[in-house]
Amino acid sequence: MRMGNNAGELPNLLTSRLFVLLKGKGAATTGAAVLDGVAGYPFPDLPVAVSIGYQLNPVVVREIRCGPTDEYILEYTRVNQELSQISEVCVRYLRDQGYHAVAIDPTLPLVERNHLHAEFPHKTAATRSGIGWIGKCALLVTRTYGSAIRLTTVCTNAPLTTGKPVVHSYCGDCAICVDSCPVKAPSGKNWEPVLHRDQFWDADACFLHCEETQTTSLTSAQVCGVCIAACPYTRRYVQGSS
Ligand code: SF4
Ligand code: SF4
């Protein structure tokens, strides 16, 4: 599967150089995980996933109260574009080092009525690479950015050094997103890797709410943002950035 060039470089050196490169391009957080054997993983020949996170502008997140603002929609779109560009840099770098690499586009949170999940959950790569856990609102939560972060994934056969998977929730007794959600999509149950999302969060209710409250033609994405802004981890990030 390897293709020459610097393919003999030590995994930890390759990984650190890659992550420095990605952070230099604006990535907030990076990690790697082995996803071979994970249900739904689309590239069994590329068993390693590079998870890349990009933070939402705290000034924009701070203004979200009862629903999405136009600024949030624009920021959401901008961050997806940034992630696409960074994932292209990642793919180019890994290919230049002699490996195969394929980028998976940053996903819309809810794609269509009858297909309420992304084809590949970037959140799986993120939790397995140690970037964060899944909150009660089904978003990735990180200690530094809360859930004000969007994700993309690059799949590769490069022997990257992988992170320590996060295997339990750090939400604890917090129920702020449960109480804040206008349609009570989060059940209040804590995420565990063995749980299917439907066992703790109602995607249907969330989607319907986002669809009904969409007030802008700036994007086709259905986004809400209330649970992102309400999370105490996010609030610490946006307040600390003032
Ligand atoms: S995005 Fe909005 S509707 Fe969906 S879970 Fe979060 S607060 Fe509830
Ligand atoms: S608001 Fe609380 S329960 Fe919800 S994701 Fe954040 S920490 Fe977890």
What is the rounded average pLDDT for all residues in the chain? 87
* Strand ranges across the sheet with 101-104: 29-34, 48-55, 149-156, 101-104
Query: Which of 116, 136, 137 to probe ligand 1 with, by most ligand atoms within 8 A of CB?
Result: 137
Identify how many contiguous H helices and E strands the chain contains and give both numbers. 8, 6
The answer on pLDDT for 10 being more than 70 is no
Structure tokens at 65: 């109260």
- Residue 162, φ and ψ in degrees, nearest 5: -95, 155
Compute the distance between CA of residue 126 and CA of residue 56 in angstroms, rounded to an integer: 16
* Ligand 2 touching residue 231 (CB < 6 A): yes
CA of 120 to the centre of ligand 2 (A): 23
Query: Which of 141, 179, 192, 237 to probe ligand 2 with, by most ligand atoms within 8 A of CB?
Result: 141
Lowest mean pLDDT among 29-38, 49-58, 134-143, 185-194: 29-38
Compute the distance between CA of residue 90 and CA of residue 67 in angstroms, rounded to an integer: 34
CA of 159 to the centre of ligand 2 (A): 34
Structure tokens at 11: 């995994």
Q: Which amino acid is at 46?
A: L
Whether the Cβ atoms of residue 238 and residue 62 lie closer than 8 Å to each other: yes
pLDDT of residue 107: 61
Whether the Cβ atoms of residue 52 and residue 30 lie closer than 8 Å to each other: yes
* Ligand 2 touching residue 226 (CB < 6 A): no
Strand pairing of 149-156 and 140-141?
Answer: unpaired
Atom of ligand 1 nearest to the CA of 205: 3
∠ CA 139-145-146, nearest 5°, is 40
Atom of ligand 2 nearest to the CA of 135: 5
Q: Which residue has the higher pLDDT, 49 or 215?
A: 49
pLDDT in tens, 111-147: 444 444 455 679 999 999 999 999 999 999 999 999 9
pLDDT of residue 106: 79
